[in-house]
Structure 1
Amino acid sequence: MDHYSFLRQFADSWMLLVLFFFFVGVVFWVFRPGSSKTYRDTADIPFRHEDKPATDKTDKEART
């Protein structure tokens, strides 16, 4: 059996199975009960300075 055929058969069988279980594991990791707070905080990043824009330190130093 040549090298290409071996890798092709491996990719079609075992690697497909490994990647499927990896995908299922990632989905379970993302939707686990304790992760909602983390993702809620990450989703709110664009709105953290909604009432007062963040200042750029380099811009402030350039004015002085």
Structure 2
Amino acid sequence: MDETEIYTAMRHFADSWGLLAMTLFFVGALLFTLRPGAKASANEAKLIPLKED
């Protein structure tokens, strides 16, 4: 295989499946952040630096 053919194949893969993977990751992160009960755990996490040992 020629180097340009490898580059072209990788480029096509990244343009299609890479974009799909990044979109699914973004949607998953968004759903994880906006899930029910996330506010309570976020409020607990923000107080961690203020806790004394």
Q: Please, what TM-score do these two structures have when normalized by structure 1?
A: 0.65
Deviations 1:11-60 (A, max 9, x none): 011210111111111111011012221111110112223xxxx4xxxxxx
Question: Are positions 1:20 and 2:19 aligned together?
Answer: no
Ranked by relative contact order (alpha carbons within 8 Å, sequence separation 6 or more), the top structure is 2
Over the matched positions of the two proteins, sequence identity in percent amounts to 38
Return 5+ residue gaps in structure 2 as ranges: none
Distance in structure 2 (CA, Å) of the matches to 1:13 and 1:5 = 12
Coordinate RMSD, CA, aligned? 1.6
Q: CA deviation at 1:7?
A: 0.6
| Counterpart mapping for 1:23-62 below 5 A | 23-49=26-52, 54=53
| Aligned residues between the structures | 50
Distance in structure 2 (CA, Å) of the matches to 1:21 and 1:46 = 32
Structure of greater Rg:
1
- Which structure dedicates a bigger proportion of its chain to helix? 2
